[in-house]
Structure 1
Amino acid sequence: MIPGRRLPDAGALHEAAARRILELARTAIAARGAFHVALSGGNTPRGLHTRLAHETDVDWLHWHVWFGDERCVPPEHADSNYRMARETLLDHVAIPADQIHPMIPSAGLAPAEAARDYAARLAAEAPRHDGRPEFDLILLGLGSDGHTASLFPDTDILDERDRDVAAVFVPKLDAWRVSLTPPSIERARHLLFLVDGSGKADILQRLERGPAADESALPVERLHPQGSAEWYISEP
């Protein structure tokens, strides 16, 4: 059984996830003076961002926004996760600009260079524990192939244990991505998977039953969270 909440539609999904995120933010700020969250990309978080942007009683000044993964495109590109987050959330709230950390801050960065740069920024500005960044929350999605962040099946990043951030070439997309690595994701205090169930029935059923004897573990199944992991899933 996937631990978490089943919601009747996308609106309820975004409402419930927003309530939980704001609760975690208040707790982190009260306990440690800041809330370090890594946002996810794709289409599902758009409604969540819009929901959060309409909140008025939020201590945005103590939010620090990171990203779990990014396409290797300039920050103004239509496919940029950062651009989506900026247009749906970040441009509408009072998070200080120096507390928002896009993975690809400018055009022209090679994937490996962007990964090294982001790892250095994490080392300098994010909380750490046992040598790893320790996010208060990482938001994650789920692909129909079992990928999350940019941890795709049959890619080298799945076995990365040394670096916090890595560049990864995804053959099925014929594209480079930059992503947090498995140990960086696993170290988070909380993981929240946000899943629009439309078109995801097969992969959700697969996760419910687990891998068969002749099947390899999916990327999301290879994660071993050290904190909590919650699933918020809207019904198809």
Structure 2
Amino acid sequence: MDSARTIALASSCAAFVAVPCLGALLGKGERTDRYDTVITPPDYAFAVWGPIFAGCVASTVAQCRRQDDPMSRRTGWPLAGAYAVNTAWSVAAQSERFKLTPVLLPVATAFAAVAHGRAQGAESQAVATPVSTGLLLGWTALASTVNLVAGAVAAGTPKMSPKLVAASTAGLVAASAVVAASVARSRRGAVPFAVTAAWGLATTALSRRRPRGVRVAAGAGAMAVAAGSVVSSRRG
């Protein structure tokens, strides 16, 4: 089982990193800007994928080297699932199958959340996995909300429709509250979890292209996530 898990993890992580990078190089990027939403972070915010990819690769290498470590055994399979479904999301976006993206990303986020939860109880000193899982979960938890709204835009709803703007803002507030509470409960990986989530929220709050109500909600969300990180550090 250790060998099968390691192969699944290594191959899914390789695809997770390679598919979006190769797609961009080959001119087949994800083009998600076609379905912009009022809660989508600005373009520069997506540079966060650099440290996320680096962290996930480092974690995967560490797990491959220590296949029998409790952290590897508890988190390897859900991480393989997270990487595989994120890869499927990228393929769907690159091939303009945008109707699939609002379904795929929440599933990928659920896998990352399972891995993050299991990392909390692992009797191991390994740090790479909690850090990388926190980075991935913090960003994709909020991105899932954005994707759900993008799905509505792709279906033909004007992004500035008052009802969609209100629903988007409410969704952002709810997602921020869930993330903040989850960060506060985390014993491992809380800071990276908070950093990527707060980064997405803060950059949205600073974007003058977004409605004022969205910017206020995003700013409040960023502060709530930061507060959750403080609570976690005090508990630790």
What is the TM-score when the length of structure 2 is the normalising length? 0.30
Instruction: Report which of the two has the higher share of helix.
Output: 2
What is the TM-score when the length of structure 1 is the normalising length? 0.30
Instruction: Report which of the two has the higher share of strand.
Output: 1
